[in-house]
Structure 1
Amino acid sequence: MSLTTSEMQIGQIARLQRIFSEADIQKYSELANDFSQMYERNEEVWKKRFSQPIVPALLVEGLIIQVISEKLPGGPCVLVQKEIIYYHPVHVGDAITAELVIIDINHERNWVTQKVVCFNQQGTEVIKGQVVIYVFPGG
């Protein structure tokens, strides 16, 4: 399903859920060349700040991009702007739901602004912000 800006409406919602695994973190680390000790099982490093290793922020952001590319608009588009705040860490095994809500549509520019909220299995908001995407005309 690929929507154009004229087919979208303010208030439209899309969401996806994902459980992050250690294998996800390993793949991310190899692709991004990010081998931070905060993501590893080395307790000496992460235990000073967290109860367990954290999932890399960019990996969680990938779930937001997945909602955009698969659901809203679900077609050719590019990220123009993002403003994201991380309220709580995401840990391996957390079930994270990314929910996007259209809050503005600029038909002249084909820009869609979406409010972003990600929350874990307890309903705790872990990420909040907004994204602006350019939707290619004609999907």
Structure 2
Amino acid sequence: MKYEGKIKKWNELQVGDSASFTKTMTETDVIMWVGLTGDLNPIHIDKEYSKTTRFGDVLVPGVLVMGLISNTVTQVTFGNVYANQSVKFLKPVYIGDTVTAVATIVEKLEKRHMVCLKTECFNQKGDLVMVGEGMEYIL
């Protein structure tokens, strides 16, 4: 793959630059996540167990949903390096929910050559299900 002209340089990045990514979360996504990570929490894989919880159904792992943010940060700052990510899980995400992740540059830190990004995930109803802040090293 050729990256010429796609790598984002410091002077090209502006406060307000934003990207989004939308995905419907499937049972296959969850099964693949469980296989890749070994996270066998029954709330993610056992429908009968999940019915007995306050959520009433299987939940998509929060960290899987958070992974959608990586896509948006990459779109905004293509070719650079994630430094950190904070996240607050606000509402559950269920199999079949459609999640839109959004990353927006909110600050450029000149001395550190980093950008700070507001990161959010919304479900198909427009409910904010996850909010956080990411930092990206601009090479």
TM-score surpassing 0.5?
Answer: yes
Question: How far off is 1:130 after superposition?
Answer: 0.7
Give yes or no for contact 2:97–2:124 (8 Å, CA) kept in 1.
yes
Matched residues, percent identical? Answer: 28
Give the unaligned 5+ runs of structure 1. Answer: none
1:47 aligned residue (38, 48, 52): 52
CA distance in 2, matches of 1:18, 1:74: 20
Give yes or no for contact 2:118–2:132 (8 Å, CA) kept in 1.
yes
CA distance in 2, matches of 1:66, 1:47: 34
Give yes or no for contact 2:31–2:45 (8 Å, CA) kept in 1.
no
The equivalent of 1:63 in structure 2 is 68
The equivalent of 1:74 in structure 2 is 78
Question: How far off is 1:105 after superposition?
Answer: 0.8
CA distance in 1, matches of 2:49, 2:31: 19
1:13 aligned residue (3, 8, 18): 18
Give yes or no for contact 1:5–1:107 (8 Å, CA) kept in 2.
no
SS of equivalent residue, structure 1 residue 75: coil
1:91 aligned residue (94, 97, 102): 94
CA distance in 2, matches of 1:28, 1:133: 25
SS of equivalent residue, structure 1 residue 84: strand
- Post-superposition Cα deviations, 1:86-120, rounded to whole Å, max 9, x if no partner, equal 10011111110011111111233221100011100
Matched, 1:26 2:31: yes
The letter of the residue matching 2:88 is I
Q: RMSD in angstroms over aligned alpha carbons? A: 1.4
Count residues with an aligned counterpart: 134
Matched, 1:112 2:115: yes
Higher RCO (CA-CA < 8 Å; seq separation 6+): 1
Q: TM-score, length-normalised on structure 2?
A: 0.89
Give the unaligned 5+ runs of structure 2. Answer: 1-5
Give yes or no for contact 1:25–1:55 (8 Å, CA) kept in 2.
yes
